[in-house]
Amino acid sequence: MASLWMRAQKVFKRSRPSGLPTEAAPEMGSGGAEKGYRIPAGKGPHSVGCTDLMTGNAAEGSFLRLYYPSCSDTDTEEAPWIPDKEYYQGLSDFLNVYRAVGERLFQYYVGSVTCPAKSNAAFKPGEKYPLLVFSHGLGAFRTIYSAICIEMASQGFLVAAVEHRDESASATYFCKRKADSEPEEESASSVEKEWIYYRKLKAGEEERGLRHRQVQQRAQECIKVLNLILKINSGEEVTNVLNSDFDWNHLKDSVDTSRIAVMGHSFGGATVIESLSKEIRFRCGIALDAWMLPVGDDTYQSSVQQPLLFINSEKFQWASNVLKMKKLSCNDTNKKMITIKGSVHQSFPDFTFVSGEIIGKFFKLKGEIDPNEAIDISNRASLAFLQKHLSLKKDFDKWDSLVEGIGPNVISGTNIDLSPAE
């Protein structure tokens, strides 16, 4: 394995802001599950299940992982963290590592990692749950923010983690019918996966134009997922093209349709902003270490009326990016910004939890703050913000001070010097 790692090292290059490590992901597990590193379980009163839903037989359909409150007596197994080897290939492409090398390294270090949610566990009925739509970062996909999504589900949310098909995910797929299958045939063997991999910038291509087009598609995908969940809630039959034992009919009348929010990290933060500007049913949004480049100029012209919380890391942001956030939130007391001290851009995805201390620090998968403390601050501030702006009857207001940037390891606003350069 050491020789494979040395070969991988030689082809690593720096990349743009992303939802996953831009350097040295192959070593990120550093023993992973074998050394006891775990993605943290939810701290709320609900057990958590997760299941995947895909509609349609083309890229224009929807693909999501739903995290949800589940019945606690389930004996089902935890879901795999990265469910298909093709995601390893996509991560390798994104990180400029030979696929053969990257796939073996990812499989070796994180192939056995699971997330602390029970796969296809029985849904817990009897309540109307608020809905949170989650958008992943550049080069990421639906499963690698499970620490955030599971915590929200454990606190009583339905969390629909979208997998974007705008070629910004490291890998994703849709299911299409095999050419030689019979029209009436509906078995799993009659369909095949059509993979879509991350698209790199072409020579001479201007990045802002590409990212703006992608963020428009991403916002539409978030709205499609919202519509899909509400359709299920109303009792309409939805065909899941994936082979799953989960009964989506159990979600009928389970969504609190007046309490819907959108959340995302990095490119997903930009997606939050665009989604808010296009869909008023999203009553508020949370942008984690948002990358503002993709956001269109017209979006700054008072088109985001809903409350918005920016949660930034200490080490990622820069002045022009933060000034765009400030421009969006100017003179609006319902738009807040906080910064988590000692955190890095990778403090939000799950990679920070499955890497050892040395590797995690060296490749900036971990900051100076303990990863569990960083994610707790982010999650608690998010819950307090959601309680206020979704009018929830919970006790999340005990963390209201975090939204104001008051408390250990959190500051109000930004640590970035925004004064004009002389």
pLDDT of res. 364: 81
Q: Is 212 a catalytic residue?
A: no
DSSP per position, 289-339: S---TTS-GGGGTT---S-EEEEEETTT--HHHHHHHHHHHTT-TTEEEEE
Q: Which of 76-80, 190-194, 212-216, 297-301 has the highest mean pLDDT?
A: 212-216
Predicted confidence (pLDDT) at residue 215 exceeds the cutoff of 60: yes
Closest CA to 414 of 341, 344, 362, 331: 341
Cα–Cα distance, 191 to 355 (Å, whole number):
36
The active-site residue out of 266, 275, 329, 343 is: 266
Q: Both ends of the chain: CA-CA distance in Å?
A: 51
345 is an active site residue: yes
Q: Is the pTM of this model over 0.85?
A: yes
32 pLDDT exceeds 70? no
Q: Which CATH number fits domain 2-180+193-412: 1.20.150.20, 3.40.50.1820, 3.30.1490.20, 3.40.50.410?
A: 3.40.50.1820
Residue 90 above 90 pLDDT? yes
**Residue 119 falls in the annotated catalytic set:** no
Q: Which tokens is 271 given?
A: 């997606």
Mean pLDDT of 144-163: 98
Bridge pairing between strands 114-119 and 191-197: unpaired
Check: CB of residue 164 under 8 Å from CB of residue 217: yes
**Hey, is 394 helix, strand or coil?**
coil
In this predicted structure, the answer to whether residue 67 has a pLDDT above a threshold of 60 is yes
| Structure confidence at residue 98 as a pLDDT band (50, 70, 90) | very high
Where in the chain are the domains? Answer: 2-180+193-412
Amino acid 180: pLDDT:
63
Q: Which of 52, 93, 289, 376 is labelled catalytic?
A: 289
What is the four-CA torsion angle of 336, 339, 344, 345, rounded to 10 degrees?
A: 10
Q: Is the pLDDT of residue 4 over 50?
A: no
Candidates 136, 265, 345, 389; catalytic one: 345
Average pLDDT, the chain: 89
**Of 133-137, 291-295, 325-329, the least confident:** 325-329
